[in-house]
Amino acid sequence: MTPLLTVENVSKSFGGLKAVSGVSLNVTQGEVCSVIGPNGAGKTTLFNVISGVLRPTEGRILFNGTDLASVSSSRFAAIGIGRTFQNLALFKHGTAVENILTGRHTHLRSSVIDAVLYFGRTRREEIAARKQVEEIIEFLEIEHIRDAIVGTLSYGQQKRVELARALACEPKLLLLDEMVSGMNQEETEDIARFVLDIRDELGITVLMIEHEMRIVMDISDRVHVLNFGRKIAEGTPAEVRRDPAVAEAYLGGNRSDAGAKVSA
C-alpha cells in the first residue's frame, strides 16, 4: 500500500547540534506506529518536523502524496495532521467543550459578516461543529467533565480533553506525543483502548511517541527506534524486542536486562 506518511532522509540541526540525522520511515494508512528511544534520542524533534512546528534542515516529508515543504505550517491541521503535545497546550480557563471546539476552527468557512450576524452558513457550521464535538465527547467517555473548567481537571482528564481536541480537527494522521505520561494504570489502559478504537472505528492512522513499553508492544503494528538522532531499528514489536541494537541503546548492551526493559 502507498504510505500515508513518508519521511525521507530527514535531518534537523540547531547550530552545530544535529538533533535528527538522516531518518527515513513510512507509515501506512490504518497502522498504529510507534517511535521509541532513550531520552534525548530526537523523538520529539522528529515529531515537531513532521507536524510543521519545525522545518527540516535536510530531506523531505510527504503526506498523502503532498510534499509538506509546499504547505504552510498553519495549514497542517486543515490537510489532515492532528497532534497532541507532551506538555499540555490547553486553555486552562475554558471548559472542556470550549477547548474541544477550537479543534473545529480549521474547518470553518464563514465570513466575518456571517459571524457577526450569526445566520446562514455560520449558524449551520456551529450546529454541525457542536454535534461532532458531542460525538467525540461520548467516544472518549468524558461526558461528566464536558462543562468543567479545564484547569480544575486532573492531569489524566486534561490529556483526554487534548486528545478530543485533536480528533475534532478530523485528522487522517494523529500524532500522539507521550500520551500516557503521568497517568495511572487505569488511565493508561483506557488510552490504549482509545488508540485502537481511533484506528478501528474512526479510520485514523496513528503515529505515537511513547515511553510506556507495554503500550508500545501491545498495540503497535510497527515500531521505529531512534538513538542519538538516528534510526537504529524498525519492525514489528517482536522484531524490535529481539534487536541487539535496541538492547545496546537502552541499557548499554546488557541484552537480558534490555530485553526486559523493552518488553515491559
Record the pTM.
Answer: 0.86
Q: What is the largest CA-CA distance in the chain?
A: 67
- pLDDT value of position 255: 45
* HEC-encoded secondary structure of the chain: CCEEEEEEEEEEEECCEEEEEEEEEEEECCCEEEEECCCCCCHHHHHHHHCCCCCCCEEEEEECCEEHHHCCHHHHHHHCEEECCCCCCCCCCCEHHHHHHHHHHHHCCCCHHHHHHCCCHHHHHHHHHHHHHHHHHHHCCCHHHCCCEHHHCCHHHHHHHHHHHHHHCCCCEEEEECCCCCCCHHHHHHHHHHHHHHHHCCCCEEEEECCCHHHHHHHCCEEEEEECCEEEEEECHHHHHHCHHHHHHHHCCCHHHHHHHHHC
pLDDT of residue 28: 95
Residues of the chain with pLDDT under 70: 1, 107-123, 251-264
CB-CB contact of 249 with 225 (8 Å): yes
Confidence at residue 112, expressed as pLDDT on a 0 to 100 scale: 44
**What is the second-level CATH architecture of the domain 1-80+171-264?**
3-Layer(aba) Sandwich (3.40)
pLDDT, tens digit, 9 for 90 and up, residues 70-79: 999 888 988 9
AA letter at 114: D
Tens digits of per-residue pLDDT, 111-127?
Answer: 444 544 455 566 677 78
What are the sequence ranges of the domains in the chain? 1-80+171-264, 92-169
